[in-house]
């Protein structure tokens, strides 16, 4: 959990979108603000966070409060380890 002394940053436009979602004006919340903190008002919402290429859906849970939105929208894809070379251990112990 974040320190209590630090000020939490949340983008003003994102807050406006969340309020208009609760009032029924919009259906989807998209944001480019990866640095915004997750506040308790976001719990239960699915926010589409931009990862540099596309918007990825992030379902907000209670445990995520205090973290940044960008922590849950990954920017790099893991394609696996290289298949070519495997590490072979030489077992040269004295018997």
**Cα separations (Å) of 87 from 44, 53, 78, 84, 90?**
45, 35, 20, 10, 10
- pLDDT, residue 80, reads 82
Contact 31, 50 (CB under 8 A): yes
Check whether 3 has a pLDDT greater than 80.
no
Check whether 95 has a pLDDT greater than 70.
no
Residues 6+ apart with CB under 8 A from 52: 75
The pLDDT tens digits of the residues spanning 10-42 come to 999 999 999 999 999 999 999 999 999 999 999
Superfamily of domain 12-72: Ribosomal protein S19/S15 (3.30.860.10)
Pick the residue with more confidence: 57 or 1?
57
| Sequence ranges of the domains in the chain | 12-72
């Amino acid at each position: 959990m974040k320190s209590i002394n630090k000020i939490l940053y949340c983008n003003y436009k994102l807050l406006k979108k969340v309020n208009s979602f609760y009032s029924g004006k919009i259906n989807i919340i998209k944001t480019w603000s990866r640095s915004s903190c997750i506040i308790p008002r976001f719990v239960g919402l699915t926010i589409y966070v931009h990862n540099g290429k596309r918007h990825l859906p992030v379902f907000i849970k209670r445990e995520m409060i205090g973290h940044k939105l960008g922590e849950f929208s990954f920017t790099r894809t893991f394609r696996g380890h290289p298949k070519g070379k495997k590490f072979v251990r030489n077992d040269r112990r004295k018997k």
